[in-house]
A and B are shown apart, each in its own frame.
Chain A
Amino acid sequence: MEINLLLLFMIFAAIVAVEIEDLLSSVIAMGAVGLGLSLAFLILKAPDLAITQLVVEILCLIILIRATINKDLPLVKDGRWLFNTTATLTFVGLFLIFAYFALKDLPQFGAPIMRVAKDYIASGLEKTGAANLVASVVLDFRVYDTLGEATVLFTAAIGVLAVIRKVGRINANKKNE
């Protein structure tokens, strides 16, 4: 029941974020979507995910506000609305057709397939000694995924630092001299 209300709230906030004129209000509406997602994780009893979602949402909100405030970004509104609307409707229709066939075979909501996870839940505590089962899965059973995630974040930070630097380090040194 609560989860349906939250989903409706998130869909409403997402539509507001897309349709509103003011850029700052749009960013705030995005934050509302993230907060709703965090509450949804809490209701579905995943506190680890809820903490991470809330914290990352706050960081994204700060960065987006710093990036969008005081900046007059042009809003593209002209032309080609016929093509755009047709393309959107076509892809929404295709998605619905494939979803009708694909979603029938998925397990019921709240009743996942527990083939491998059954073993993790049964033997996680004695095999790793970690009381938090999420930590034992993320940092012991599936630690290769965590290594990949860490690599992705490292590469992303280096990429941001390389792309956003307007003046190269050599030129900046020359300018100071």
Chain B
Amino acid sequence: MAISRARRNRIAELGAHVILLTFAVIALFPVLLILINSLKTKKAIFRQPLEFPTSETLDLVGYSTVLQQGNFPLYFWNSLFVTGASLCLILLFGAMAAFALSEYRFRGNRLMGLYMALGIMIPIRLGTVGILRLMVTTDLVNTHWALILVYTAQGLPLAIFILSEFMSTVSSDLKSAGRIDGLSEYSIFFRLVLPLIRPAMATVAVFSMIPIWNDLWFPLILAPAEHTKTLTLGAQVFVGQYSNNWNAILAAMALAVIPVLILYTLFSRQLIRGLTSGAVK
């Protein structure tokens, strides 16, 4: 009886592996296909799309086209700057507001929390007409700051929501001790609380980063100029212009994917831990 049950479990587990492996292959296959074909000659791309490049079919012409024609280093820098600056602002302002909301009791506290939470559910994109007018009147169109401000506003609601959950777990004894020692409220926040919620900040950073880095809508509308194009928009435009040059398209795609893949392999543990936080087992 016991043996047959164990065997049944073994079979079930094997089945689970087969299904999971299938899904994993489906998830990875398209990206792998782009990466290997970006390294091949045009002929090989069409004749043997599923084969790895060999010494005969290896050809980096796509990459040289991209690097010569496109402003990719600039786009990359723009994306990096916009994402980085937005993240800093989201984390700083978000943590400060979360601290105020979870630490102090004041009139309208709950209402303020609800007001900030509104933005979690309502996409900022719907205010585009108003945002564009605002950016035009303040002369911020085609600057990095237009994007940074929009992304900060977009990221704050979720950041405040997640961070205030964590803030309330910080022991109040510690904060009282700090107050007795004469620390100001600012030093309590910056020196006692912030270091303790670093893991939560990492979670928020990862969550906020993905949609900012990948956004196409706001760069297209607020900052389409050559000097402010982000990598996402730049790749989109490039692919449109070079639609018949398969080597160049595949190389552009590969260049857009590689930084994400590197970051993901480095931070996948934090990311997954953040997503599954709460389930500490």
- The answer to whether A and B assemble together is no
